[in-house]
Structure 1
Amino acid sequence: MKPSLPARPPASGPEARKQRADGAEARAHLLLSALKLFAEKGFAKTSTREIAQAAGANLAAISYYFGDKAGLYRAVFTEPLGKPCDDVTRFLPAHLTLRQALEGFISGFLEPLKLGDLVQQLTRLHFREMLEPTGLWAEQLDNNILPAHAALVEVLSRHLGVTTPDDDVHRLAFSITGLAMQTFISRDLIVTVRPQLIATPPAIDLWAARLVDFAEAMVAVERARRQPALPVKKNKP
């Protein structure tokens, strides 16, 4: 019986680092190529063969890194923007001032804008998923977006002195989120009218700071609205 050759020991040192780097680069290239196609054509009309061809890879690479087309789509949909619930610790802790909490919420929300043109493709993909649902949007809503909204409501209730959040607290939370969301929805318009507003990471950080100012003002208005009106003093005759 011919003796079997000993198994090749796993790579180590520079060779292992090169293999890991090459693998990470190949995976990232597949993600970017898939993102462009999924955003343009949707999940159903995009084939794995198209993605592999666009990425300069073979079909086996998709199976290796993502399992299948659905696994690749999930990675494209969730990885680049992160999970809103992952940012909860940036604004939920009770020791934070209102401004610190709003800074944590809004700066975390706007961080993906620093990805440049990539974020516009991600935004289009998310809108397409809402129009042509595969189930990922509902999953994202339940697991990430709703918990983040609940955390913001908790923060606002705390700073408004509200024990049980009512409709107006939720309106305020949605409105503050809308301030940040608008920068993604209107990105094409912003680039056309005033591109310097989001052209660099420092510019995006400045935008976030301004949104915090606006959000603080909104909270102040709501706080004032909730304060009972002082009785009018009548002049003695």
Structure 2
Amino acid sequence: MPAPRPPPPSAETVPDTRARLLGCALRLFSELGFARTSTRALAEAAGANLAAIRYYFGDKAGLYRATFEELCIVDASAATSSAPAAGPQPLADWLAGYFAGFTEPLKQGERMRQVLRLHIREMLEPTEQSRTKRERTAALHAHLVGELCRALGLAQADDDVHRLAIAIGGLGLQLVVAHERLETDLPGLFAAPAALDAWRSRLVEFALALVQAERQRRDGAPPHSS
């Protein structure tokens, strides 16, 4: 017989206790990762007690899962409204929407940056949440591969198209990583929304250059497949 659900913690009468726990969890998990974040640290940061975590989320894993399901997905969808549109369109336009998924969140303030950090940390230190993230990443990669095949006039992707897609995706990911490391030293590159818009334009240009290089390589040599 399952254990009864703990009663509501008497000290937790403030209506936003659950929201505070989620907000603090996003910050701590993004900074320290799941394994190095203790339930005690989470409770103290939120001004709550350990019973509140058990009551609202069951355990630390439940709080981590809720952070992804309730904060990361909602925030990311709100910040990436200019994501790639469906249907045929010029590759440059599609890439502009693709890279907006990296640049637009950086305009949204610290909370959105925490969302990005948490997603990157989940890639480096995978938990059970990784399965859902892998599915989303695979879907976006497949979409990019399809656009590249269309641009290169290919009926089917080969290994080099996948390599090209991974390289283009790396441009956006590296921007997020560099933003974390270099924002203080090079504020002109990141501080203003216009600077991030410039990044999006440059990333599109860099990606198109990679596509053109691949097109030229194919014109001079057969595709390589492992």
Q: TM-score, normalised by structure 1?
A: 0.71
1:95 partnered with 2:83: no
1:111 partnered with 2:104: yes
* Alpha-carbon distance in 2 for matches of 1:146, 1:76: 21
Return closer, same or farther for 1:90/1:60 CA change in 2, 3 Å cut-off: same
Once the two structures are TM-superposed, the CA of residue 207 in structure 1 deviates from its matched residue by 1.1
What is residue 127 of structure 2 aligned with on the other side?
134
1:196 partnered with 2:188: yes
* Structure 2 runs not aligned, ≥5 long: 1-13, 222-226
1:225 partnered with 2:217: yes
What is residue 12 of structure 1 aligned with on the other side?
none
Return closer, same or farther for 1:109/1:193 CA change in 2, 3 Å cut-off: same
Once the two structures are TM-superposed, the CA of residue 194 in structure 1 deviates from its matched residue by 1.5
* Alpha-carbon distance in 1 for matches of 2:139, 2:81: 8
Return closer, same or farther for 1:65/1:114 CA change in 2, 3 Å cut-off: farther
Return closer, same or farther for 1:100/1:127 CA change in 2, 3 Å cut-off: closer
Please say which structure displays the higher CA radius of gyration. 1
Larger mean CA deviation between 158-167 and 214-223 belongs to 214-223
* Alpha-carbon distance in 1 for matches of 2:209, 2:35: 45
- Does the 8 Å CA contact 1:34/1:76 hold for their aligned counterparts? yes
- Does the 8 Å CA contact 1:48/1:59 hold for their aligned counterparts? yes
Q: Report the residue type matching 2:201 in the other structure.
A: A
Q: Report the residue type matching 1:52 in the other structure.
A: A
Once the two structures are TM-superposed, the CA of residue 27 in structure 1 deviates from its matched residue by 4.0
Once the two structures are TM-superposed, the CA of residue 167 in structure 1 deviates from its matched residue by 1.4
Partner of 2:86, secondary structure, is: coil
* Structure 1 runs not aligned, ≥5 long: 1-21, 230-237
* Alpha-carbon distance in 2 for matches of 1:67, 1:180: 36
1:215 partnered with 2:218: no
Residue-pair matches, total = 205
- Does the 8 Å CA contact 2:82/2:101 hold for their aligned counterparts? no
Return closer, same or farther for 1:51/1:159 CA change in 2, 3 Å cut-off: same
Once the two structures are TM-superposed, the CA of residue 51 in structure 1 deviates from its matched residue by 1.3
Match of 1:166 among 148, 153, 158: 158
- Fraction of identical pairs, as percent: 49
- List 4+ stretches of structure 1 deviating above 6 A: 85-89
* Alpha-carbon distance in 2 for matches of 1:101, 1:165: 18
- Does the 8 Å CA contact 1:88/1:105 hold for their aligned counterparts? no
User: Which whole-Å deviations, capped at 9, do the CAs of 1:158-217 have from their partners, x for residues lacking one?
Assistant: 111101101111111111111111111112332133112221333222211221121122
1:29 partnered with 2:20: yes
